[in-house]
Structures are given as structure tokens and as C-alpha cells.
Amino acid sequence: MLAKFALRNIRRNQRRSLVALGTIAVGVFGLLFLQGFFSGLIALHKENSIHSRFGHGQVMTKGYWGQAFEKPWEHWLEDPEAVMQYLKEQPHVKAVFPRVQFFALLSNGRINVAGRGQGVVGAAEQHFFNKMNFIAGGAMGDQRDGLVLGVGLARALGVKVGDHLTVMGQTIDGTINAIDTRVTGIFQVGMKEADDTLFQVQLSEAQILMNTQKVESVTIGLDDERHWDEVAAGFQRAFPGYDALSIYVLDQVWAENGELFLTALLNIFRLVFLGMIMLAIYNSASNTVLERKRELGMLRANGETPQDLIQLLVLEGLYLALAGATLGILLTLLVHGISGQGIPMPPTPGTNRLLPVKLHLEASSILLAMLLGIFTSTAATFLSTLQVLRLSIVQAIRAAA
């Protein structure tokens, strides 16, 4: 009976109900949109790091990461084939990529520019590392003398796709060596440091340049990031002399620090937004209840207890909260569908290209936004109801007379 009476009260004053419904819907929409936007930005930077540079993680000799060595190749993997064979047999490992890193001079015959090179297996990497954002040309594939380089490095050298470059470096024996390459692609990963210095050649060519068959590290691509801890723990047990480093260690700037910063910022915005929603809903609910002082006074004079009225008004608020929260969620899903490829955003600090941020909506985020909307609306209705119930029956009846 009380539920039917609450629904009739909501339908009886449509203007009042629509105002409350709209306030709750806008609040839930704003909260969920904010959550989805920040989650999308975090996911975007992480995906960019994983699929353009670092993979889900890398394995290397213990203590190698973060240290400077006079002869780094003495600390490279002695038996990379055994490491790769083990990793390939693990159920969640999608692919493995042996790599070496070195410093070299790139020359177009007129200009020499220093760069940080990577030797990679081009044909194997081009499908997994699909976020390198080639602005000219494309991946090396299996072209033996292929080379791809960052847009800043290409600009400094004044080269374009198809041009020849000589890569000059030092072998592990200390002699100078060189390889001839042809530019197959120019990329822009979005990180200025990488775009200004990074280039890649085939692993076999890098090993010829350095006169070694060793590899520095093995990059791992998983079918799902959530399996990293399981894969890393198993690897450490099988190879105790090696380290398995996740993307959060390899790209501390964005994958770890960036996520922590954006999450903290989201929590601040969420707190401020919740306070604003609470005040807006409380104001709307207060006006609604205050307009009904005479009605509530008549109900009390008719024998209804304050507890009955609290239950009635809170139930009305709960119904409006459920409807408003549902409307806010549907509005967010509509915006998510309309945004398509993402919301274009200017470059963030440390990056140098536009970022199309897609709303990242998870079931847990939707449920949390709905519960917060329902809680704030119901709590605001309860508090405003207590304000009216403090009046005597005579004061309540006279207030709207």
C-alpha cells in the first residue's frame, strides 16, 4: 500500500518529479562520464606503451634494469633460445620478441645524428606493436635492410621513406662498424623522447653491427594483461637468475606514475562532484518537501506517525533515484556510442600528438555510479524530511494555507 501511495504521489506532481528526476540523472551522468573518461585516458596511455614500445613486460638478467655498465653486453642473455622456448609454452603468452638496444650515429651523407637503436624481428613484431602510429611508410616487415625511426629523428636528418641511411656503431670488441639501411617508415608514438631519438633495425643487422649473437632482453606479449603476475612468477621460479619486469616498471612515467596521478585526480573530482550532486539533490528534495508541508501536516493529523511519513518520502526519493540513475546511465551509454573513435584531446604533458580518448565503461563503474546516485538522493530526501517533521502539526498545516 505504501509503495502504491508513493508512486501516486510521484505521478500527482509531474513538475516536481521531473525536476528531481533530471537532477539525479545529470548527477549520475556526470559522475559516470568522469569515471569513464579518466579510465579511458589511463587505458589509452597504457595500451600505447604496451603496443608501441614495451610489450606487457620484459625479461633480462637479474639486476640489469636501471644500471649502467661499461660493457652492457656482458650482462645480456647467454641462452635466449631456452628463455623464449619456455615462455612460448606458457598458456597466456601470445608472443615473445628478442631485442637488443644500442647507441649509434645515423648519417644521410651530409648530417650525422645520434640515436638510440633497437634491433627487433620486424616481421614478428609488426602485428603486436600496432600503436607506433606510422605517419609515413610502415613497418619493416621482413625487409633485411629496413629501418624505421621517430618523426623528430627523421626531421633532424631530413629524410623520408625510401632514403638510405648509414648506421655507425661500436662492436663489443671496441671497433667501429656500419650497416647500410633504407627508411621504410616514420612513426610518432606520442612521447617526445622516443620520437626524437628512437630507431629500429632488424635484429640480425643489429647483431652484425655489434658483432654478437646475444640479445639484451625478451619482450613478452600476453593475451590479457591480468595474467602478468602469474606468468612472471612462473618464469622467476624456472629462471632464478633473471628478472621479469612488468610494464609498470619499464614505463614508470605513464604506466605507473601516470595511472596513480590520474586515479588520485579522479578521486578528488569524484569527491567534489558527489558534494555538488548531494547539495543539488538536497536543494531539490528540500523544495519538494517544503512545498508539501500542509499535506504532511494533514497526514499527521490523520494519525500517521513521523516514521510513516519518513518511510513514504524516502520511498518516493528511492523511486526517483532509481529512475534518475537509470536515465543517467542510459545517457552516458548514448554519449559513449556517439563518441565513436573517441573524444579528441590535446597532447598531455610529455606527449606530442592528439589523443582520442574513448570512454572506458566497466560494469563495476556503472554499478558504483548508480549506487552513489541512489544513496545521495535517498539521503538528501531523508534529511529534508526531518527538517519538516520538526514542525508541529499546526505549523505544518498553516505553512501552506
Distance, in Å, from the CA atom of 202 to the CA atom of 144, rounded to the nearest integer, reads 7
**Burial annotation 15-27 (CB, 10 A radius, 16+ → b, else e):** ebbebbbebbbbb
pLDDT value at residue 401 = 47
Q: Which of 107, 274, 267, 270 is nearest to 199 (CA)?
A: 107
How are beta strands 217-222 and 93-107 bridged, if at all? antiparallel
Helix (H) or strand (E) holding 278: helix 259-291
Cβ atoms of residues 185 and 136 within 8 Å: yes
Cβ atoms within 10 A of the Cβ of 70, count? 5
Q: Which of 162, 252, 156 is nearest to 198 (CA)?
A: 156
Distance, in Å, from the CA atom of 70 to the CA atom of 190, rounded to the nearest integer, reads 31
pLDDT value at residue 312 = 77
Amino acid at 47: E
> Look-up: residue for cell 639484451?
216
Distance, in Å, from the CA atom of 217 to the CA atom of 73, rounded to the nearest integer, reads 11
37 φ, ψ (degrees, to nearest 5): -65, -50
Distance, in Å, from the CA atom of 186 to the CA atom of 149, rounded to the nearest integer, reads 5
> Look-up: residue for cell 644521410?
108
Cβ atoms within 10 A of the Cβ of 305, count? 10
Cβ atoms of residues 191 and 148 within 8 Å: no
> Look-up: residue for cell 508539501?
292
pLDDT tens, residue order, the chain (401 aa): 667 766 776 777 777 778 778 888 888 888 888 888 888 888 888 888 898 889 999 999 999 998 888 888 889 998 889 999 999 999 999 999 999 999 999 999 899 999 999 999 999 998 899 888 899 999 999 999 999 999 999 999 999 999 999 999 999 888 999 999 999 999 988 778 888 999 999 999 999 999 998 999 999 999 998 999 999 999 999 999 899 999 888 887 666 677 788 788 888 887 887 777 777 777 776 776 667 777 777 777 777 777 777 777 778 778 888 888 889 899 988 888 887 777 777 766 656 667 788 888 888 888 888 887 788 777 777 777 777 667 666 666 666 54
User: Radius of gyration (Cα) for the chain, nearest Å?
Assistant: 31
